[in-house]
């Protein structure tokens, strides 16, 4: 079972999300929270696989809560709840270490898929988000038109699929490899390029031109 903590400040929305998550056979709700501080305590006590994180909340917002979860080394992966794809706060959440985002207007099957994807090590990064991340980096002082990624030919194949949001299992199936082999390629790619996690790897893939937002790889 995939254990989920639901973090949302609006009571009716939070209760609805809890009901939707609980309706999937392979998902369970370990707890819920109405703000970031409560979320940190809930994650510490329930050890979830995924935190479904709202961004705009009282006391401690979703971005700061995500930053603290990543900094203290929690194993839970953060899936951001948002209302629009191009929200500046979503970009900040990815920088903080979130593994993906899902629109609040998404049907339940998409929410279930998103939870399963990030729980399995996948990253959900829409082309619109990737494009804005790259554009912001290029506008920053000292921004470069292209960053260098040091990858072997096989790692390139893996990273391109990871950038599409595929999980390790899905990449393995696509490339006819063992899942442990894919995990090894991802780890090597992270280490060789000084990247923290898959989210940074995906952003780097776009920044390097290895993957083009909205285009074919």
* 134-185 pLDDT per residue, tens: 666 656 555 555 678 899 999 999 999 988 778 888 899 999 999 999 999 9
What is the rounded average pLDDT of the residues 205-214?
76
Secondary structure of residue 157 in the 3-state scheme: helix
- Residue 209 above 90 pLDDT? no
Report how far residue 91's alpha carbon sits from residue 96's, in angstroms, rounded to the nearest whole number: 9
The answer regarding whether domain 2-119 maps to CATH 3.40.50.2020 reads no
Instruction: Output the pLDDT for position 146.
Output: 62
Say if residue 65's pLDDT is above 50.
yes
User: Any idea which fold 131-207 has?
Assistant: Rossmann fold (3.40.50)
List, in order, residues 6 or more apart from 74 with CB less than 8 Å away. Answer: 43, 44
Write out pLDDT tens, residues 3-46.
999 999 999 999 999 999 999 999 999 999 999 999 999 999 99
* pTM of structure: 0.75
Q: Which residue stretches of the chain are H helix?
A: 11-22, 36-46, 62-71, 88-96, 108-119, 127-139, 153-163, 168-175, 179-193, 198-207
Per-domain boundaries in the chain: 2-119, 131-207
Residue 217 has pLDDT above 50, yes or no: no
pLDDT score of 76: 93
Supply the pLDDT for residue 67. Answer: 92
* pLDDT for the residue 216: 46
Q: d(Cα 69, Cα 72) in Å, to the nearest integer?
A: 5
Q: Is the pLDDT of residue 115 over 80?
A: yes
Same CATH topology for 2-119 and 131-207: the answer is yes
CA distance 106 to 161: 23
> How high is the pLDDT of residue 122?
77
**CA neighbor of 195 nearest in space, from 154, 158, 152, 148:** 148
Pairing of strands 2-7, 50-54: parallel
Q: Distance of alpha carbon 153 from its chain centroid, rounded?
A: 25
Q: What is the mean pLDDT of the segment spanning 66-71?
A: 92
């Amino acid at each position: 079972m995939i254990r989920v903590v639901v973090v949302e400040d609006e009571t009716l929305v939070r209760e609805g999300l809890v009901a939707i998550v609980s309706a999937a056979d392979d998902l369970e709700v370990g707890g819920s929270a109405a703000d970031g501080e409560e979320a940190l305590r809930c994650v510490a006590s329930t050890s979830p696989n995924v935190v479904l994180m709202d961004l705009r909340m009282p006391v401690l917002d979703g971005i700061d809560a995500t930053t603290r979860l990543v900094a203290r080394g929690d194993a839970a992966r953060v899936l951001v709840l948002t209302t629009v794809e191009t929200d500046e706060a979503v970009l900040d959440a990815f920088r903080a270490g979130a593994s993906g985002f899902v629109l609040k207007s998404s049907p339940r099957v998409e929410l279930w898929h998103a939870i399963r994807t990030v729980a399995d090590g996948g990253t959900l990064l829409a082309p619109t988000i990737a494009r804005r991340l790259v554009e912001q980096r290029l506008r920053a002082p000292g921004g470069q038109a292209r960053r260098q990624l040091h990858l072997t030919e096989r790692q390139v194949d893996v990273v391109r699929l990871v950038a599409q949001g595929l999980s390790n299992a899905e990449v393995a199936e696509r490339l006819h490899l063992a899942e442990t082999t894919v995990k090894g390629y991802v780890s090597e790619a992270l280490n060789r390029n000084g990247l923290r996690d898959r989210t940074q790897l995906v952003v780097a893939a776009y920044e390097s031109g290895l993957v083009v937002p909205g285009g074919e790889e």
